[in-house]
A = this chain, B = another copy of it.
Amino acid sequence: MSTNPSMLNVHLVPHTHDDVGWLKTVDQYYYGDRNNIQHAGVQYILDSVIDQLQKDPARRFIYVETAFFYRWWKQQNQSTQRIVTQLVNEGRLEFINGGWCMSDEATTHYSAVIDQMTLGLRFLNDTFGECGRPRVAWHIDPFGHAREHASIFAQMGYDGFFFGRLDYQDKARRMKTKEMEMLWRASESLTPPLADLFTGVLPNGYNPPEGFCWDQSCDDAPIRDDPDLEDYNVDEIVQKFLNASYRQAGFYKANHIIMTMGSDFQYENANLWYKNMDKLIKYVNALQAKGSKVNVLYSTPSCYLQELNLANLTWPLKTDDFFPYADDAHDFWTGYFTSRPALKLYERLSNSRLQTCNQLEVLGGPKSKSGPFGEGDSDTMKRAMGVAQHHDAVSGTEKQHVAYDYARRLATGWAHCEVLVRNSLAILSGSEAPRVFCENLNISVCPLTESSHKFSMNVYNPLGRTVSWPVRLPVNGSVYSVTDANGRAVDSQVGNVFISLKCTCYIYDMKSSCLLPLLINNKSVLLYVFKFLKVTFDETTGLLSSLTNLETNQTIQLTQNFYWYNASAGNNKESPQTSGAYIFRPNSSDPFVINKTAETQIVTVSSTVQEVTQWFSPWVSQVVRLYEGHRELELEWTVGPVPVADGLGKEVITRLDTDIKSSDYFYTDSNGREVLERRKDYRPTWELKQTEPVAGNYYPINSRAYIKDDKHQLTVVTDRSQGASSLYNGSLEIMLHRRLLYDDYRGVGEPLSEPGDFSDGLVARGRLLLTFTPPDTAADVHRPLAQGMVLQPLLSFQDGTPSANTKLEFSGLQTDLPPAVHLLTLSQWDEDTVLIRLEHQYQAKESKTHSQPVTVNLQKLFSTLDVLGASEMSLGANQWKEDMDRLQWNTSKPLPLSAKDPSPWEVTLNPMEIRTFLLRVRQL
Q: Report whether A271 and B222 are in contact in the complex, using a CB–CB cutoff of 8 Å.
A: no
Q: Report whether A271 and B71 are in contact in the complex, using a CB–CB cutoff of 8 Å.
A: no
Q: Report whether B75 and A33 are in contact in the complex, using a CB–CB cutoff of 8 Å.
A: no
Hey, which chain B residues are within 8 Å of A226, CB to CB? Answer: 71, 74-75
A276 → chain B closest CB, angstroms: 9
Q: Report whether A275 and B224 are in contact in the complex, using a CB–CB cutoff of 8 Å.
A: no
Which of the 9-residue segments A36-44, A171-179, A242-250, A346-354 touches chain B?
A: A36-44
15 extra A-B contacts, CB within 8 A, seeds A35-B218, A74-B228: A25-B230, A27-B230, A28-B231, A31-B231, A32-B272, A33-B221, A34-B221, A39-B216, A41-B222, A47-B275, A48-B269, A71-B226, A216-B216, A216-B268, A269-B269
Q: Which residue of B lies closest to A230 (CB)?
A: B27
A786 → chain B closest CB, angstroms: 34
Q: Report whether A41 and B272 are in contact in the complex, using a CB–CB cutoff of 8 Å.
A: yes
A207 → chain B closest CB, angstroms: 17
Other-chain residue from B27, B32, B39, B224 in contact with A229 (beta carbon distance below 8 A): B27
Hey, which chain B residues are within 8 Å of A218, CB to CB? Answer: 35
Give the contacts of A538-583 with B (CB-CB under 8 A): none
Q: Using an 8 Å CB-CB cutoff, how does the interface string of A55-80 with B read, 1 for contact, 0 for none?
A: 00000000000000001001100000
The CA-CA distance from A47 to B222 in the complex, in Å, is 15
Is residue A30 within 8 Å, beta carbon to beta carbon, of the partner chain? yes
Give the contacts of A339-369 with B (CB-CB under 8 A): none
The CA-CA distance from A31 to B271 in the complex, in Å, is 13
Give the contacts of A4-42 with B (CB-CB under 8 A): 25, 27-28, 30-36, 39, 41
Hey, which chain B residues are within 8 Å of A231, CB to CB? Answer: 27-28, 31, 33
- Chain A residues packing against B (C-beta within 8 Å): 25, 27-28, 30-36, 39, 41, 43-44, 47-48, 51, 71, 74-75, 216, 218-219, 221-222, 224, 226, 228-231, 268-269, 271-272, 275, 405
Hey, which chain B residues are within 8 Å of A75, CB to CB? Answer: 226
Q: Report whether A269 and B216 are in contact in the complex, using a CB–CB cutoff of 8 Å.
A: yes
Q: Which residue of B lies closest to A408 (CB)?
A: B230
Enumerate the 5 nearest inter-chain pairs by beta-carbon distance, A residue then B residue, closest first: A269-B269, A36-B219, A27-B230, A35-B219, A27-B229
User: Could you tell me the dominant secondary structure of chain A's interface residues?
Assistant: loop
A45 → chain B closest CB, angstroms: 10
Q: Report whether B47 and A271 are in contact in the complex, using a CB–CB cutoff of 8 Å.
A: yes
The CA-CA distance from A221 to B272 in the complex, in Å, is 24
Hey, which chain B residues are within 8 Å of A35, CB to CB? Answer: 218-219
Other-chain residue from B27, B74, B221, B229 in contact with A71 (beta carbon distance below 8 A): B229
The CA-CA distance from A39 to B275 in the complex, in Å, is 17
Q: Which residue of B lies closest to A52 (CB)?
A: B51
Q: Report whether B44 and A271 are in contact in the complex, using a CB–CB cutoff of 8 Å.
A: yes
A–B Cβ pairs within 8 angstroms, 22 of them:
A27-B224, A27-B229, A27-B231, A31-B222, A33-B231, A36-B219, A39-B216, A41-B222, A43-B275, A44-B269, A44-B271, A44-B272, A44-B275, A47-B271, A48-B271, A51-B51, A51-B271, A74-B226, A74-B228, A75-B226, A216-B268, A268-B269
Hey, which chain B residues are within 8 Å of A228, CB to CB? Answer: 74
Hey, which chain B residues are within 8 Å of A271, CB to CB? Answer: 44, 47-48, 51
If A27-B230, A51-B51, A231-B27 touch, does A34 touch B269 (CB 8 Å cutoff)? no
A415 → chain B closest CB, angstroms: 15
Q: Report whether B47 and A230 are in contact in the complex, using a CB–CB cutoff of 8 Å.
A: no
A18 → chain B closest CB, angstroms: 15
Q: Report whether B32 and A222 are in contact in the complex, using a CB–CB cutoff of 8 Å.
A: yes
Q: Report whether A33 and B222 are in contact in the complex, using a CB–CB cutoff of 8 Å.
A: yes
The CA-CA distance from A230 to B401 in the complex, in Å, is 13
Hey, which chain B residues are within 8 Å of A48, CB to CB? Answer: 269, 271
Hey, which chain B residues are within 8 Å of A34, CB to CB? Answer: 219, 221
Hey, which chain B residues are within 8 Å of A275, CB to CB? Answer: 43-44, 47
Q: Which residue of B lies closest to A268 (CB)?
A: B269
The CA-CA distance from A32 to B39 in the complex, in Å, is 18
The CA-CA distance from A47 to B216 in the complex, in Å, is 14
Q: Which residue of B lies closest to A270 (CB)?
A: B269
The CA-CA distance from A731 to B145 in the complex, in Å, is 80
A590 → chain B closest CB, angstroms: 45
Q: Which residue of B lies closest to A54 (CB)?
A: B51
Q: Which residue of B lies closest to A233 (CB)?
A: B33
The CA-CA distance from A228 to B74 in the complex, in Å, is 10
A395 → chain B closest CB, angstroms: 21
The CA-CA distance from A169 to B272 in the complex, in Å, is 43
A910 → chain B closest CB, angstroms: 42
The CA-CA distance from A757 to B721 in the complex, in Å, is 66
Q: Report whether B268 and A224 are in contact in the complex, using a CB–CB cutoff of 8 Å.
A: no
A213 → chain B closest CB, angstroms: 10
The CA-CA distance from A36 to B217 in the complex, in Å, is 10
Q: Which residue of B lies closest to A36 (CB)?
A: B219
Hey, which chain B residues are within 8 Å of A32, CB to CB? Answer: 222, 272
A21 → chain B closest CB, angstroms: 11
The CA-CA distance from A25 to B224 in the complex, in Å, is 14
The CA-CA distance from A269 to B35 in the complex, in Å, is 15
Hey, which chain B residues are within 8 Å of A47, CB to CB? Answer: 271, 275
The CA-CA distance from A129 to B231 in the complex, in Å, is 32
Q: Report whether A224 and B31 are in contact in the complex, using a CB–CB cutoff of 8 Å.
A: yes
The CA-CA distance from A272 to B48 in the complex, in Å, is 10
User: Interface centre among A33, A268, A275, by most B CB within 10 Å?
Assistant: A33
The CA-CA distance from A620 to B670 in the complex, in Å, is 80
User: Interface centre among A25, A228, A269, by most B CB within 10 Å?
Assistant: A269
The CA-CA distance from A32 to B279 in the complex, in Å, is 15
A217 → chain B closest CB, angstroms: 9
The CA-CA distance from A836 to B434 in the complex, in Å, is 94
A280 → chain B closest CB, angstroms: 14
Hey, which chain B residues are within 8 Å of A229, CB to CB? Answer: 27, 30-31, 71
Hey, which chain B residues are within 8 Å of A30, CB to CB? Answer: 229
Q: Report whether A405 and B269 are in contact in the complex, using a CB–CB cutoff of 8 Å.
A: no
The CA-CA distance from A221 to B34 in the complex, in Å, is 6
A674 → chain B closest CB, angstroms: 37
A607 → chain B closest CB, angstroms: 50
User: Interface centre among A35, A51, A218, A228, by most B CB within 10 Å?
Assistant: A35
A102 → chain B closest CB, angstroms: 20
Hey, which chain B residues are within 8 Å of A222, CB to CB? Answer: 31-33, 41, 43
The CA-CA distance from A275 to B28 in the complex, in Å, is 16
A159 → chain B closest CB, angstroms: 34
The CA-CA distance from A241 to B27 in the complex, in Å, is 23
The CA-CA distance from A271 to B50 in the complex, in Å, is 12
The CA-CA distance from A826 to B218 in the complex, in Å, is 47
Q: Which residue of B lies closest to A405 (CB)?
A: B230
Q: Which residue of B lies closest to A75 (CB)?
A: B226
Hey, which chain B residues are within 8 Å of A219, CB to CB? Answer: 34-36
Q: Report whether A33 and B71 are in contact in the complex, using a CB–CB cutoff of 8 Å.
A: no
The CA-CA distance from A271 to B80 in the complex, in Å, is 15
The CA-CA distance from A735 to B28 in the complex, in Å, is 53
